[in-house]
Structure 1
Amino acid sequence: MTQTAPEPRLTSLAHGGGCGCKIAPGVLSDLLRGSAALPVPPQLLVGIETSDDAAVWQLSEHQALVATTDFFMPVVDDPFDFGRIAATNAISDVYAMGATPILALAVVGMPINVLSGATIAKVLDGGAQICREAGIPIAGGHTIDSVEPIYGLVALGLIDPALLKKNADAQPGDVLVLGKPLGVGILSAALKKGALDADGYARMIEVTTRLNRPGPDLAAIPGVHAMTDVTGFGLGGHALEMARGSGCDLLIDWPAVPRLAGIDALIALGHVTGASGRNWASYGAGVTLPDGFAEAERALLSDPQTSGGLMVACHPQALDQVMAAFTRHGFGDAAIIGQVGAHTATPRVILR
């Protein structure tokens, strides 16, 4: 009787996982430099100029199309959970612009001679479940036979251009709010080494599969000026994008930044992603750290956040409405993490 060999762990088939797969921001900037010279039609309200979360194309006076794509290699071994995380992460970019998602297309690359059809189907089922939760169909997609497993979505949404929230419109004096705690990359690093317990895994799945539904509600608050989601470049990288796009320093109160339970112990044991170091090498020169800032804390600052939270810059008078929107959608761990500083010719992220 022939025995079927057990399938390998999904994470063992990938050289990286989740948003830790992203090309380092400095390298990406070099790669995209030529694209910035292309002509920009007036209907393109948001392109690649400020590294925003999605492209936005104006359809009419009161309607614009938001378009984005995001895909990556496995961050967990459970195929259903992998699909859920990847889909949640992709749809997040639509929410980060303040838009309402309308449909998705699947992006699928799988080693079909290594993984069974049943395993691949579970990945797709996980993505489909999240799309159902978001109230959108998967209306098509594309598949290839790939050496490493890859899954994600093209996600499309709609918004009134008057409500559009970019990452580049923060104003001096704005309050900064972060919707999810940090540490997903550290949890994923521990998981890959077999050092993450059941409680840690449950925390990881809960935070990475929680859709950033507050986005459209936040966009409708007049005092909300800028928004982005904190993903592969870590809090430091996405904050620096907002600072540079807005022409203002961002002042981060580091002790106020929420972190997932158990993160400190995992960092102390050396569970840090390689992407964290690459991130810091790319943008660390644009970040000012307090004297004596620990290397472990720096690793968390640049930790890639797969399916991370929304970061909002809002007028202080809008803060109660912003926090209420997060709470209404089940984001009780949303926290005030700092403020937007003055306009400056060389914007920085300043931790204090």
Structure 2
Amino acid sequence: MDREPGLSVRLKLTLSYAGFLMTAGALLLAAVWVFLLRYVPERATLINHDDDSTNGVFPVRSGLLDVFAPRAVAVLAFLLVFGLVGGWILAGRMLAPLTRITDATRLASTGSLSHRIRLPGRKDEFRELADAFDKMLSGLEAHVAEQQRFAANASHELRTPLAISKALLDVARTDPNRDVGELIDRLHAVNTRAIDLTEALLLVSRAEQRSFTRERVDLSLVAEEATETLLPLAEKHGVTIETCGDITPAVGSPALLLQLTMNLVHNAIVHNLPEQGTVWVNTGVRPKTAVLTVENTGEQLTPRLASTLTEPFQRGTERLHTDHAGVGLGLAIVKTITQAHDGSLTLTPRSAGGIRITVELPAKSPH
């Protein structure tokens, strides 16, 4: 926003200090003058004590005014100079922290997020502002770094199926006798994976932008729908799903919350024991929050590994591998949807193996 130039804050404070000092000085001089007028007589009689004779009557107040006025003007002039000089120095010292904050803001506007103000001294309004600004810069830096990693990983993940498709087509071009049916099947599988990844990326973007309408949602019904939909997959993997919970009202997008629950249950099914695994899906109400908990049996997980499971495209050697790799965004989508609903996501390894994932969402306020 373009603004017309105006007086600096330091000059305004200087004029304010000087003006206040002048006003206080003028009031003090006025009080002294009123005191003198009240207790000093208008005329005084000079008496000779040796012979008790009167030498004459002299005007006192007129002479007092002649003496008081120039000195009062001199005092006010001194206060004006002192107020301007002292006010300028004092205002500079008071505004020094604000100058550092302004410089940091200008650096941040150029894209530099690594610097911090780190304003020294005890806590006051300026230091609270500086600390809040440092915290904001830390959050922005972490968010930008996360987005850059996400973009790089997404580009890599999208490039992989395209590169495979190109390789298959090149092989088919150089080998006309190759089985066309096998080639079509492999291209179909690669193309399906690319579509699934693209849809997952679009879902993440939609959730991050919070471009959805909030409605009343019963998490218990959402959990039932998700488990019924994924029941065939659970039977294929030999996993039993147990669902329980009363009516659990929350506020959010029914479609996104269904996707969140589907991802949690799907993840619990495919990352489970090789046989006779179990998935528990529970919903409940806490003060001011609605809770969805999904836990499963499985291999032993460390807290450090559990804390990385919500990062996108994490397929390192420590991640559990199954025949259903997915696109690497299942729990990342859960985390994004939870944050978009102002909720919290907690991952806790189970002592017997597997993991417990808890989602807390704001409950609908009663009318």
TM-score bracket, shorter-length normalisation = under 0.3
- TM-score, normalising length: structure 2: 0.18
Larger Rg: 2
- TM-score, normalising length: structure 1: 0.18
More helix by share: 2
More strand by share: 1
